[in-house]
Structure 1
């Protein structure tokens, strides 16, 4: 499988995750991204023995886009610390049903994950097992009953963007878990990890990569998003 490489050096590997591939091995036993990348590194660099590749964050299986991996234990430790301190900037694009009431804003919820059902719900702030989830959103454009949003994460909770946008009243197109009343079986979720900006964990210089969603419905409602030649993609949240 050809995995697009967005940036690579001795310490980092940033790639574009394909949709519907697990990041690491799960109960499905399907081939996972981490294994694919380790095998690729082993082949490209003719490395003997096991290849080290550190997983420092995740994307849900149906979601595609930019991800960062660590090629050294030093980089893995520093990247994990940067994520804990929220100094790696991660931005997403999402197509949601309807038009949010506000053009932009911050969502703060307290989330609880049901491990058995693999589903997250919004609970009261005083719930003993609740975890605080924060994101910023901006409506870039609305048309034909949908809106294109830019989303910036401040925390990295499971299913966070999906459940928070659904709780706002605007579930993501194709999300069978948090928008089943609006979405049809078989639709691909329209959530894409669009941009990662970080300081290199060793060289301390800025690294930024961008990944564009596929030119398929509903992304193609916004030609500017999927125009890979010009890459005129709305990026910033004010």
Structure 2
């Protein structure tokens, strides 16, 4: 028999959702069967899958060991002895990390532990801010993602409550995200709004833009303004009004100004003189603009956080001040 004591992070969720995370190898059909047979109990009593767990509850599982054999996903953090993190901000509920270009946020098809989330979990574990033994179904998690070759601010939730709130706020677009990029040429006009439809091609891992709505396409809107120009390059700030895959890269290329180093939407001919192999794109600014109550995160409303160091700005526009 295994027993889990429900902490604040695990409370408030349905029993079946808790079990899906705590015992991922347990099939749903068997879970419901074992609930009926009282091989899964809460506080020593029979209960149903819809029961809302409360802090202090005890969940007893009379299950075979085979259902617990798989390692939990977050165990990758244990292989990291020296976390590599650039922390922009941290409190009891969230951590804002400045992800370096080249690092993946989650494990990709190649697997491995060298991911942003693993380094964040390792840092929180080693500093005592998080102990996986204290919450059977929750681990610190990322609320947004950034492409491997894009740098910038990524939000990590340190508590289940913060994760629920931020996921909702991101869905309602109550977070303002601004990016800096270097593009070839000079955008005309110098500032504007790009609005069309974007469709993702899963096989090519690329998107196409359309003036009219086509099957599978979603609205894509980017506001941009040119901050500086010199020689054949321009420094541009982009604000995402929608959050589609490769949106800024495709949008800037569509007005004849592909990102420096972008081989997917730009051309090798343009990039070759600069010897850049990754797109010059950085999620440098994040502002919380809550329109509705944000519960324990209300204190963040109206606050802006920015990345301190953006390598390609220093390299190509050294006199520009953010």
Aligned to 2:246: 159
CA offsets per residue over residues 77-96 of structure 1, 9 Å max, x none? 22122122222011111000
Aligned to 2:124: 41
Alignment gaps of 5+ in structure 1: 226-231, 234-238
State the distance in 1 between where 2:213 and 2:129 align: 53
Q: After superposition, where does 1:1-238 map in structure 2 within 5 Å?
A: 1-30=83-112, 31-45=114-128, 47-49=130-132, 52-181=139-268, 182-184=270-272, 187-198=277-288, 201=294, 202-205=296-299, 206=301, 207-216=303-312, 219-225=314-320, 232-233=321-322
Q: 3-state DSSP class of the match of 1:45?
A: coil
TM-score (norm 2): 0.65
The number of residue pairs the alignment matches comes to 226
TM-score (norm 1): 0.87
Judging by fraction of residues, say which structure has more strand: 1
Alignment gaps of 5+ in structure 2: 1-82
CA offsets per residue over residues 153-185 of structure 1, 9 Å max, x none? 111111111111111110000012111342237
Q: CA RMSD in A?
A: 2.0
Q: 3-state DSSP class of the match of 2:146?
A: coil
- Choose 1 or 2 for highest CA Rg: 2
User: How much does 1:3 deviate?
Assistant: 0.8
State the distance in 2 between where 1:97 and 1:63 align: 17
- Highest RCO, 1 vs 2 (Cα 8 Å, sep ≥ 6): 1
State the distance in 1 between where 2:297 and 2:121 align: 23
Judging by fraction of residues, say which structure has more helix: 2
Q: 3-state DSSP class of the match of 1:174?
A: coil
